[in-house]
Structure 1
């Protein structure tokens, strides 16, 4: 133990040791602290997300013409990974459809010219 260990730190270490049934090594203790900080960060992000959704719900109630945008944003805020994938798929579908449509339009124009001439 280092000489800068405080009584609060010792009590916390004792509580953790009792919880795990043994004393933890420094690496295990650091890993637990890292996991705890990640959990706290995740909780903070969830809190921010709930705040954003509350504000968005208020905007949605107040501005009915913006309901489709609010729905899309709500889905993105609730399911960011899924909606990102859906957005990429929809974008790819739209680009592919535009290319196919342009090709069909060119083919139609060429066919019309051949029939007229």
Structure 2
């Protein structure tokens, strides 16, 4: 389901997988996602006020999120280099930027 692209939450993943496989429990989907996260196959994007979404791990990117409907889109953008003066003695491994606003569908309505 994730190989088709996009960002899916657990309920969307479960419903799509049930259409293809027949019976499938939400618990089985949670267990598969936990395993995929542990092995680095998928990544999880937390959406404040919305269920988290999952996607296949790929090239580094940032995200845009619609504050109205929760839609998430990948943005091919390199995260900034953290300010070293403000983070002395820190080992920073990554940074995330989330662009927030209205998606084209929500803007049109």
Bin the TM-score by the shorter chain.
Answer: under 0.3
TM-score w.r.t. structure 2 length? 0.23
Q: Which has the larger radius of gyration?
A: 1
Structure (1 or 2) with the greater helix fraction = 1
TM-score w.r.t. structure 1 length? 0.22
Structure (1 or 2) with the greater strand fraction = 2
| Larger RCO of the pair (alpha carbons < 8 Å, separation 6+) | 2
